[in-house]
Each structure stands twice: as structure tokens, then as C-alpha cells.
Amino acid sequence: MWDKGTLEIDGTKIEYWVKHYEKGSEFGIDEGRISKLDCRVDGERILNYDRGWDLEPQTELAIKALEILKSRFN
């Protein structure tokens, strides 16, 4: 299932798209339910996961976004 939405962290809006399943998988983040994840700030990608990391979180903002999304969907 695909979900999209917006997070606001420290006054910054982050758009996200996440594909998640009912059960975890070896292809999911931390073997969880998220198999695809894209997060962007002002159109610029800050992290991307597509059955493996294409762009790992490299800023505090990206790390916070990942933790929030993992708690919701993983």
C-alpha cells in the first residue's frame, strides 16, 4: 500500500511517499514493512529507500523524519 503525506519537523515541511506491507520483509527497512520511501524538502530528496538505501539520511532532519515514518509504518 502507498501512503503520501507531509511532516513538519522544526518548522520544515517534508513530503514523503512510502510503500509498506502488512508483514515485514528482508527487503524492508530494518527488515520491517517499509519497502520504498522517498522524502523531499522543497523538491530536493533528503532520503530514498527502494528495497535498499539509495540515499541514506545524512542530516538530523532526515534522521528525525525516518524515525517518525518508521514508527508509523514499519
What pLDDT score was predicted for residue 54?
97
Residue 13 grid cell = 515541511
How crowded is the C-beta side of 1, counted as CA atoms within 13 Å? 7
Residues in the chain with pLDDT < 50? none
- What is the CA angle 3-7-8, rounded to 5? 170
Please report the pLDDT score of residue 48 as a whole number.
98
pTM over 0.85: yes
Q: Residue 3 contacts by C-beta under 8 Å, 6 or more apart in sequence? A: 17, 18, 20, 73
- Find the angle CA(66)-CA(69)-CA(71) to the nearest 5 degrees: 110
